[in-house]
Structure 1
């Protein structure tokens, strides 16, 4: 298990280390994580020689970026800090959640849970630093997650998927070989 986590951690550190030296504020951390999480997801496909996963990642990432920037262009929502008018949806959050959701959907919760925690920090920091309101961040998170859930399929082993419906909330367990 540690062997599988190593490429994720290394990819995140390779991207994060130089930028963290420049500034230790939450804006910089969010800037790093929006790149590090998708990079870790892609890195995992390379480490596992998962060509099908690589293709699924590319589709997921490209559709996340396309949907995010199409909405930013169409909506023209002002940022809370007044810096510009492309607040909706949060691009940082959509990219971070795309990476986290891909890791969880393709490789399971052991990778997804820490990635979702980091992606949640990205959303939190964007609101805290007055770049977005909660709706912007939630929309970004939903775009990234939806793209990964649409394109990514479980890789192997037991996959645990949260479910929600008219009958309530639950977990669905499936075995993939």
Structure 2
């Protein structure tokens, strides 16, 4: 079974879980959730459909590291004034929704360049604005999440066509190793 057929089958399976909302209009919160999930999921789909196995691995490491650091920060700041949401509830700093969306945007921009990255970051900014407008977070929460996602992406994702020069140290010699991805 080809990769495209497997993706189509998975998409059809996921559609069976979809239940339309009873209201005629969709709330902005639901749209924010959908965009938040679409960014990293589509980033993985691009890597998968391009047969970019290394990209798939980097996507996974990026998302795990990003969400782990976000969760640790949320636990650490929960008992402080930064951890309070506009509604008074806890676990507000940094925003987990924006961090998840930002992990996909960071992957896009680092792995595939600005043509993929700019739209993904704009969609992440939409999610951030949505979270603030719905009184789920303060601006500081979403800005910190975007910065965290950007930094984690810089650490865990390399460009698809990257070139590296690294020092090599042996017992009796020093040298440089040049590596190029094609």
Could you say whether these structures have the same fold, taking a TM-score greater than 0.5 normalized by the shorter chain as the test?
yes
Whether 2:145 is the aligned partner of 1:140: answer: yes
Q: For residues 139 and 24 of structure 1, what CA distance do their matches in structure 2 show?
A: 28
CA distance in 1, matches of 2:128, 2:57: 27
Cα distance in 1, alignment partners of residues 28 and 66 from structure 2: 23
Q: TM-score, normalization: structure 2?
A: 0.73
Structure with higher Rg: it is 2
Separation in 2, partners of 1:150, 1:27: 31
Alignment equivalent of 2:63, drawn from 57, 61, 64 = 61
Q: Does 1:103 align with 2:102?
A: no
Distance in 1 separating the partners of 2:146 and 2:74: 14
Which of 60, 80, 96 aligns to 2:86? It is: 80
Which residue in 2 is equivalent to 1:152?
157
**So what's the TM-score if we normalise by structure 1?**
0.75
* Residue ranges of structure 1 left out of the alignment (5+ in a row): 1-6, 158-174
Gaps of 5+ in 2: 1-6, 163-179
Q: CA deviation at 1:176?
A: 6.7
Q: Which residue in 2 is equivalent to 1:171? A: none
1:87-129 Cα shifts (integer Å, max 9, x gaps): 0000011111110111111011111111111110000011111
Kindly report structure 1 stretches of 4+ aligned residues shifted beyond 6 Å: none
Task: Name the counterpart of 1:131.
Answer: 136
Q: Is the 8 A contact 1:57 1:148 kept in 2?
A: no
Give the paired residue count: 145
